[in-house]
A and B are shown apart, each in its own frame.
Chain A
Amino acid sequence: MTKRMIIAALALGGVGLATYLAMYKLGMIGTIACGTGGCETVQMSKWATFLGLPVAVWGVFFYVALFLVALLGTMERWVDAPWVSHALLGLTGWGVVFSAWLTYLELYVINAICRFCVVSAILVAVTFLVSVFEWRARPRVAES
């Protein structure tokens, strides 16, 4: 399995996770399966919205974009396309920064930890690491 396949698989898991959190935030699921109770606190906080949209919905967009880029990067047509490596690194790098900000808010501002958010942060960190390795081994375009 290639690194891009691994990123695609992790991103698909992230799509499921973010969709679940978004459905809770949008009122489609009554309660959230988080044993600590912290998920509700985090999801009900004012920090759970970013630029007018629930953070979880942004998470869905992010993971879907990551999944699509990684999946396209596994296709024969784009397997040697450096832009895929750049895009994966850029997306996951942004994801790490955003997740770090959210984790900071949970720990020091909201004072509650949402397990699902922690899982998402770990997912993003792992995809970032894989993306770094993938980027280092990317195909390079050289002068003939």
Chain B
Amino acid sequence: MDAGRGRSGQQIKQGAKGAPGGKGAHSAGARKAAVRSTDRKPFYLLLGAIALAAVVFIGWQMSQSKSSGVITIDASTPVPEATGYLIGAATAPVEIMEFADFECPACGSFATLTEPDVRKRLVETGQARFRFMDFPLNIHKNTWDASFAAACANEQGKFWEMHDRIFATQDQWNGLVTNKPKATFSRLARELALNEGQWEECYDSQKYKLNIEANRREGERRLVGSTPTFLIGDKLVPGALGYDQVKAYVDSAAAKAALSPVMPLGGDTALKKGPPPPKK
């Protein structure tokens, strides 16, 4: 085939100007010659590197996903119930169940901006009770430590105080700023006047791992796919809600509950050591 001729025998010219020999113009033959002379090895190496990076990333994500779902347990240990941590009257007509990850920014936003209002205006007035369920995500490397810290504070009857401080100090212990979140949690335990030795022994032993895992699995069972997610009545609502939205769901659930009472979820771990102190 002559240079400058396409397969159809038509002349092929290059460039927007369209003039053979013009600026930037190369004949098709020249293009093909350029292709022949071009070393394609770097191109294929680049494609290989991109493909390899994609496969490694996806494979790593899949292995992370699987490894975090499998834990070694003592077979004789009874499987804990997913009870979460409850605040408010057990007789309240509506339960607000939050599935949250302590390291998730949106959960932190809800806990610091909206939750105080919810507790004061809905929980303390008896319109609803609030249940926190751990839903630690694999992507947050310090979230399990935060859940341990809160569970161990709960052992001494101060879950909600620790819960509030953990969320309020999220910027100090999250996985992007430190690999050693324990220092912050220890300080919080001191500020709450917890028995530090007991708290630390509990934290280091990870003794509530199965309870936290049970809470997380309860979320999975209820098709929770992101955090925070709220279960209010029969509505599963993802995303950090504002007070008005929570109130609307509670009112709607209360109206339905009045017609057909729903059995609440089992026990109440947060209240075992006594009710939380009144909010100021």
Contact = CB atoms under 8 A, between A and B. Distances in A.
A141 B31 CA distance: 14
Interface in B50-104: 50-51, 53-55, 57-58, 61-62, 65-66, 68-69, 104
A37 B68 CA distance: 18
Interface stretch (B12-20, B111-119, B152-160, B272-280): B12-20
Contact of B54 (A15, A32, A37): A15
Interface residues of B, number: 48
Nearest to B220: A30
A1 B42 CA distance: 9
B238 A40 contact: yes
Nearest to A76: B35
A12 B106 CA distance: 33
Nearest to A75: B35
B50 A44 contact: no
Contacts of B227: 37, 40
Nearest to B56: A16
A79 B32 contact: yes
A41 interface: yes
A54 interface: no
Interface residues of A, number: 43
Interface stretch (B3-11, B192-200, B206-214, B262-270): B3-11
Interface in B222-261: 225-227, 238-239
Interface string A29-51: 11111111100110110000000
A11 B54 CA distance: 12
A80 B46 contact: no
Contacts of A9: 43, 46-47, 50
A43 B106 CA distance: 16
A30 B11 contact: no
Q: Please list the 10 inter-chain residue pairs (A to B) with the smallest Cβ-Cβ separation, ordered nearest first.
A: A16-B54, A40-B226, A80-B28, A30-B65, A44-B225, A12-B50, A139-B12, A136-B16, A76-B35, A79-B35
11 contacts: A15-B54, A19-B54, A29-B65, A33-B61, A40-B226, A41-B238, A80-B28, A137-B15, A139-B13, A141-B12, A142-B20
